[in-house]
Amino acid sequence: MRTQKHSLHHRPQFRLERWHRRTLYALLAGLLLSGLAWLQAHYFLRVAGEFGDTIHPLEHWAMQAHGALVMPFCFLLGSLLLQHMRRAHHARRNRASGWSMLGVLLSLVLTAYGLYYLASETSRPWWSLAHWSIGLALPLLLWLHIALGRRALC
């Protein structure tokens, strides 16, 4: 069994640097807002036209913004592996909510992949429902993860 030696003045650092944390929060907020904009446009702003419902222009722009924001978010999320996730896991800190966060994020990636590559016209609504339901739960889980982490440090 491996033991870690830490002096009273040196505790393992799990908290992200300010720029890293703020950038992740800003990207997550942008993802949430663009996802909400898409939901609004897709479900509430469509107009019945001569040949059926017409897609509101906001739907397309929200989808493009969402796709553009997810790329840097995934990059920064990957950067958490060594500093934040690995250190906290080895220190046995906040594991349940941390693994839950990872599971939810993986579910978002898989449902996004399903929407883009696997969904048929009949299965698309189910992929979409799964994706946005999980996406709307993510901020709550993130808040819980942060609150539990801060409580554990006290």
Give the E-state strand segments of the chain in sequence order.
Answer: 47-49, 52-54
Q: What percent of the chain has pLDDT over 70?
A: 90
35-46 tens-digit pLDDT = 999 999 999 998
- Distance between CA atoms of residues 90 and 103, nearest Å: 18
Taking residues 122-151, report their average pLDDT.
94
Helix (H) or strand (E) run with residue 46 in it? none
pLDDT in tens, 68-125: 999 999 999 998 887 888 887 787 888 888 899 999 999 999 999 999 999 999 999 9
